[in-house]
């Protein structure tokens, strides 16, 4: 392995770090909101809302993310110019919907793990459903939600690499460009691997931190 070459290409690959991180941040933001909504819909009394949530989860967990990205980038524009998205936006759309399907399961399992006596007690105290969800149930569910939520976040961080196939200039695309221009694969891939490993390791450490913060104090 040519270490000098790594020194030369590392800055180029790192130029894509910002885009990788933005892809991750936007997708996490949208998927968290959507995932929570889907979980609440799944638990609601209204049957069509439940069906929608189940159908959404079945669909987005049943097809590969790569196909979703192709769909967002190549097929959606056929429906009209409003759907003509930039590569970055198409990637955020695909990643958000895909992650939301997984996050909704994380939220739902956390919410149903909270003892039903807590709902009943909140009702007995005259709290509205919305109020008790926000003040009683979700804070207790947070503890249970953290591990699967962070596991999904780590997956999403790794899956941002797929945005390369719809020409988002994130790190993987920049590394691929070096591979095809310089005819050297090991150095750019090794550099790329180190950066991703650092990013996912930071998230694992953040998970430990969060789990400790939300631990029950007895």
Residues of this chain that bind other proteins (CB under 8 A):
58-59, 61-67, 70-71, 74-75, 78-80, 158-162, 164-165, 172, 176, 179, 185-186, 189, 192-193, 196-197, 200-201, 204
Distance between terminal CA atoms of the chain? 53
In the complex, what is the shortest distance from the CB of residue 163 to other proteins, in angstroms, rounded to a whole number? 10
Q: Which is nearer to other proteins, 61 or 129 (CB)?
A: 61
Give buried/exposed letters for 22-48 (b at 16+ CB in 10 A, else e). bbbebbbebbbebbbebbbbbbeeeee
Provide the CA 98 distance to its chain's centre, in angstroms.
8
In the complex, what is the shortest distance from the CB of residue 139 to other proteins, in angstroms, rounded to a whole number? 28
Which runs of consecutive H residues, i.e. helices, occur in 73-135?
87-113, 116-124, 129-132
Place of tokens 């040519």: 2
HSE, CB side, 13 Å, CA atoms: give it for residue 187: 21
Q: Which is nearer to other proteins, 104 or 161 (CB)?
A: 161
Q: Which is nearer to other proteins, 79 or 130 (CB)?
A: 79
In the complex, what is the shortest distance from the CB of residue 89 to other proteins, in angstroms, rounded to a whole number? 17
Query: What is d(CA 23, CA 93) in angstroms, rounded to the nearest whole number?
Result: 10
Q: Which is nearer to other proteins, 49 or 76 (CB)?
A: 76
In the complex, what is the shortest distance from the CB of residue 149 to other proteins, in angstroms, rounded to a whole number? 17
Tokens of 102: 């997984």
Q: Which is nearer to other proteins, 31 or 132 (CB)?
A: 31
In the complex, what is the shortest distance from the CB of residue 122 to other proteins, in angstroms, rounded to a whole number? 32
């Amino acid at each position: 392995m040519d270490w000098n070459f790594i020194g030369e290409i590392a800055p180029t690959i790192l130029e894509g770090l910002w885009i990788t991180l933005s892809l991750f941040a936007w997708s996490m933001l949208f998927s968290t909101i959507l995932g929570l909504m889907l979980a609440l819909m799944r638990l609601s009394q209204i049957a069509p809302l439940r069906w929608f949530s189940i159908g959404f989860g079945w669909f987005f967990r049943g097809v590969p993310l790569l196909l979703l990205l192709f769909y967002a980038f190549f097929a959606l524009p056929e429906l009209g110019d409003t759907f003509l998205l930039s590569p970055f936006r198409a990637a955020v759309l695909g990643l958000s919907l895909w992650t939301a399907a997984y996050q909704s399961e994380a939220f739902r399992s956390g919410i149903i793990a909270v003892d039903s006596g807590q709902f009943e007690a909140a009702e007995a105290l005259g709290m509205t459903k919305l109020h008790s969800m926000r003040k009683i149930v979700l804070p207790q569910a947070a503890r249970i939600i953290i591990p699967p939520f962070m596991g999904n976040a780590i997956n999403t961080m790794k899956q941002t690499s797929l945005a390369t196939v719809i020409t988002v200039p994130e790190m993987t695309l920049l590394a691929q460009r070096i591979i095809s221009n310089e005819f050297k694969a090991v150095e750019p891939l090794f550099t790329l691997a180190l950066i991703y490993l650092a990013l996912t390791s930071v998230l694992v450490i953040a998970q430990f931190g969060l789990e400790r913060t939300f631990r029950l104090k007895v």
